[in-house]
Amino acid sequence: MSTETNPGTRLGALTEWPAVRQALDLLATPGSRHAIPTPAAIIDLTALNGNLARAAETCRDTGVTLRPHAKTHKCADLARLQLAAGAVGVCVAKLGEAEALFDAGIDNILVTSPIVGRSVAARAADLAVAGASVTVTVDHPAGVAALAAMASTPIDVLVDVDVGLGRTGVPDPDAALRVATAIAAAPQLTMRGVQGYGGHWQHIGDPADRHAAVAEGMRRLTAAIELLDRHGHDTTIRTGGGTGTFEADIALGVLTELQPGSYAVMDAQYHRIDGSWVHSLEQALFVAATVTGATQHWLTVDAGLKAFATDAGTPGSDIGAYLWYGDEQGLLLTDDPDRPALGTHVEFIPPHCDPTIDRYDILHVVEGDTLVDLWPIQARGRSQ
Ligand SMILES: Cc1ncc(COP(=O)(O)O)c(C=O)c1O
């Protein structure tokens, strides 16, 4: 477990890379933001801290627990800021992320993808033995059986309920009861509550439509909770929600714990939806690129398909429209005489933050135009 504060030491083997050494040499130098080897993931620390504080304050004021989803950033240093701002712990999607973040010092972790099979259950059990405060989700008695077979120390468990996404979760209250009954019968497992996450609601553009969709899903979750309560199961934790539904989740009052992820760093697809909460968040994640070519009508930049997730439109830029132009390059359409010169830096707003960050090993942290820190993305690629 590491809580090392020196960036060079914290980066470990990454410091053997010449580009990383160049970035380390730039630390604390005014203007260094624009000299980082590219393509690179950049975090604007002021914007990030503002977003973290906004979510934490809102949760505090409304009596809801905040457990941000670390699948967005996969970075222990960023998770530590979330915890310092008031989060009770973090969520991860996969055991691999949990293992990487626990090794880097984050010990209160909810695994939101239901456990299926003994190999994953064994790793959850190992984490608990190693001292992690790990909570897992299940949506089938087979998952409970796998966990029960592998657990040698107590593990907290939530029943994942399908609130309409159709991705994971028990389909109805009776199925929730069957899973909860199996948990109650397993000596090392402790039923703690439910999870209901609606990913399909997060980017509904109109806030009223989004609220109505969440309300319908929360009715499904409430039906499961009521049946579990009637049978004496603990449903204290009711976790779910994301950046897009944050306001609706609070207003509806069914969830006791919120799991927003993207809110910390934001992306272009979240800027496209309406709503006062989401509009109060600032863009904190950028991808920096270098202008490597210039014609009369476009610039070539060294950030292409490998530099961004490509599922949610093109990278945002106020210089011109971006065109995908292969694995390694993109084009910026502009004939502005004042456009950036060959060799200079440009920064883009990523279309979709989570899978973009997963393409990088390091978050380059800037304050204003100065590079102030380098954070390893410990759980990058740890999707097993
Ligand atoms: C289970 C779960 N909870 C929370 C989130 C966070 O969503 P967002 O990044 O939109 O805030 C996700 C994202 O996919 C998720 O899968």
Q: Indicate which CATH number applies to the domain containing 322.
A: 2.40.37.20
**pLDDT tens track of the chain, all 384 residues?**
445 668 778 899 999 999 999 999 999 999 999 999 999 999 999 999 999 999 999 999 999 999 999 999 999 999 999 999 999 999 999 999 999 999 999 999 999 999 999 999 999 999 999 999 999 999 999 999 999 999 999 999 999 999 999 999 999 999 999 999 999 999 999 999 999 999 999 999 999 999 999 999 999 999 999 999 999 999 999 999 999 999 999 999 999 999 999 999 999 999 999 999 999 999 999 999 999 999 999 999 999 999 999 999 999 999 999 999 999 999 999 999 999 999 999 999 999 999 999 999 999 999 999 999 999 999 999 999
For residue 6, what pLDDT is reported? Answer: 81
Token pair of 294, please?
Answer: 């210039």
Given the CA of residue 353, which atom of ligand 1 is nearest to it? 9
pLDDT digits (tens, 9 = 90+) for 327-370: 999 999 999 999 999 999 999 999 999 999 999 999 999 999 99
Torsion of CA 174, 180, 181, 187, to 10 degrees: 170
Q: Does 271 reside within a domain? A: no
Closest to 189 (Cα-Cα) out of 169, 161, 162, 159: 159
The DSSP secondary-structure symbol of 33 reads G
Q: Does 258 reside within a domain? A: yes
DSSP assignment of 324-355: E-SSS-EEEE---TTSPPTT-EEEEB-SSHHH
pTM attached to this predicted model: 0.97
Closest to 67 (Cα-Cα) out of 110, 100, 101, 131: 110
**Atom 2 of ligand 1, residue of closest alpha carbon:** 197
Domain finish residue from 231, 263, 295: 263
Q: How many residues in total does the chain contain?
A: 384
CA distance 346 to 40: 11
Based on the fold, state whether residues 245 and 288 are members of the same structural domain.
no
State the residue for tokens 């309300």.
Answer: 215
Over 1-31, what HEC string results? Answer: CCCCCCHHHHHHHHHHCHHHHHHHHHCCCCC
CA distance 312 to 307: 14
- What's the burial of 50, exposed, middle or buried (CB within 10 Å: 0-12/13-18/19+)? middle
State the residue for tokens 């973090």.
Answer: 90
Phi, psi of 382, deg, nearest 5: -90, 65
Q: Does 384 reside within a domain? A: no
- Buried b / exposed e along 272-290 (16+ C-beta atoms within 10 A): ebebebbeebebbbbbbbb
Q: Does 276 reside within a domain? A: no
Given the CA of residue 113, which atom of ligand 1 is nearest to it? 1
Pocket test for ligand 1, best of 137, 202, 238, 267 (most atoms within 8 A of CB): 202
Based on the fold, state whether residues 14 and 143 are members of the same structural domain.
no
Token pair of 155, please?
Answer: 């593990």
Cβ atoms of residues 309 and 349 within 8 Å: no
For residue 86, what pLDDT is reported? Answer: 97
Based on the fold, state whether residues 248 and 287 are members of the same structural domain.
no
CA 328 to ligand 1 centroid distance, Å: 29
Using CB distances shorter than 6 Å, the residues near ligand 1 are: 69, 72, 112, 197, 199, 202, 242-244, 259-263
Q: Does 362 reside within a domain? A: yes
CA 16 to ligand 1 centroid distance, Å: 34
Beta bridge partners of 160: 195
CA distance 39 to 322: 15
CA 44 to ligand 1 centroid distance, Å: 22
Q: Does 131 reside within a domain? A: yes
Token pair of 59, please?
Answer: 């949760």
Based on the fold, state whether residues 110 and 159 are members of the same structural domain.
yes
* Alpha helix segments (H runs only) across 263-307: 268-271, 276-279
Based on the fold, state whether residues 161 and 300 are members of the same structural domain.
no
Domain finish residue from 235, 263, 291: 263
CA 189 to ligand 1 centroid distance, Å: 25
CA distance 89 to 134: 10
Cβ atoms of residues 90 and 82 within 8 Å: yes
Cβ atoms of residues 228 and 176 within 8 Å: yes
Domain finish residue from 218, 236, 263: 263
Number of structural domains in the chain: 2
Based on the fold, state whether residues 242 and 104 are members of the same structural domain.
yes
Q: Dmax over Cα atoms in the chain, in whole Å?
A: 72
Cβ atoms of residues 203 and 160 within 8 Å: no
Q: Indicate which CATH number applies to the domain containing 61.
A: 3.20.20.10
Beta bridge partners of 298: 333
Give ∠ CA 199-201-206 in degrees, rounded to 5.
150
Residue 369, C-beta contacts closer than 8 angstroms, at least 6 positions apart = 30, 31, 32, 33, 34
Q: Please tell me whether the peptide bond between 350 and the residue prior to it is cis, using omega within 30 degrees of 0.
A: no
Pocket test for ligand 1, best of 52, 71, 214, 265 (most atoms within 8 A of CB): 71
Based on the fold, state whether residues 76 and 167 are members of the same structural domain.
yes
For residue 2, what pLDDT is reported? Answer: 45
Pocket test for ligand 1, best of 109, 135, 163, 197 (most atoms within 8 A of CB): 197
Based on the fold, state whether residues 212 and 69 are members of the same structural domain.
yes
Based on the fold, state whether residues 55 and 138 are members of the same structural domain.
yes
Q: Does 220 reside within a domain? A: yes
Based on the fold, state whether residues 20 and 163 are members of the same structural domain.
no
Range(s) of the domain holding residue 301: 7-45+281-376
CA 204 to ligand 1 centroid distance, Å: 14
Based on the fold, state whether residues 185 and 230 are members of the same structural domain.
yes
**Atom 14 of ligand 1, residue of closest alpha carbon:** 199
Q: Does 272 reside within a domain? A: no
Based on the fold, state whether residues 173 and 66 are members of the same structural domain.
yes
CA 327 to ligand 1 centroid distance, Å: 28
